[in-house]
Amino acid sequence: MSEASADLSAAVLISGGGSNLQAFIDATASGELPLNLCVVLSNKPTAAGLVRARKAGISVECVAHQDYPQRALFDAALVETLDKYQPDLIILAGFMRILTTTFVDHFAGRILNIHPSLLPKYPGLDTHQRAIDAGDQWHGCTVHFVTAELDSGAAIIQGRVPVLAGDTADELAARVLVVEHKIYPQATAMIAAGRLEYRDGCAWLDGERLEEPVQIQTDVL
């Protein structure tokens, strides 16, 4: 992946509202992000993000996790479905299933996720409330490469927002979400431009190993 390519294709995996998916739809439609969104896949047939995908003319797929008795079988079905589209990148955008090595090894080094915390702080769920409860001054989100270990692959970009006095988890989540919509397409644009890759368990940007994620401080209040 050393040259810029407008032909890079990506599958976006969702479970819910798909506001991050929308950020990708908008960034590709405006030409700001040279990426072909080849398919949107949901594990929930009712995910509102599927409506956004259809409206944008993107192919949609649904693989319902309840139909599979084991995680590895569900992951194998995901792989089979996604392979029809031959995506270069897998973008997890609010996809609320833990992925096993069946999936992660198949798309090794080509899976991105956004997590609503400043990783390594607060992997897992309820990140906003946990940041408030801990009295943190700063919270935010992290785009990272995905490994089989939850929310722990090499971090690429972090966006920080202040935690304000009296913030509820919902208020803080809404402020973080605005930043998610900026940094996720930005990280993907770096891959599309051939500037960013995953190698030897690390993120490499412009040929240098990223020791720390790129920090984006925002004025979102």
Minimum separation from the CB atom of position 221 to ligand GRF (A): 18
List the catalytic residue out of 65, 106, 115, 139. 115
Nearest-CB residue for ligand GRF: 94
Residues that bind ligand GRF (CB under 6 A): 14, 16-20, 49, 93-94, 114-116, 141, 177, 180
Structure-block tokens of residue 204:
């490499």
CB of 25: closest distance to ligand GRF in angstroms? 11
The least CB distance from residue 173 to ligand GRF, in Å, is 7
Q: Which is nearer to ligand GRF, 1 or 15 (CB)?
A: 15
| Residue 115 annotated in active site | yes
Instruction: Give the residue with the Cβ less far from ligand GRF, 77 or 146.
Output: 146
Distance CA 188, CA 34 (A): 9
Residue closer to ligand GRF (CB basis): 119 or 203: 119
Write out the catalytic residue numbers.
115
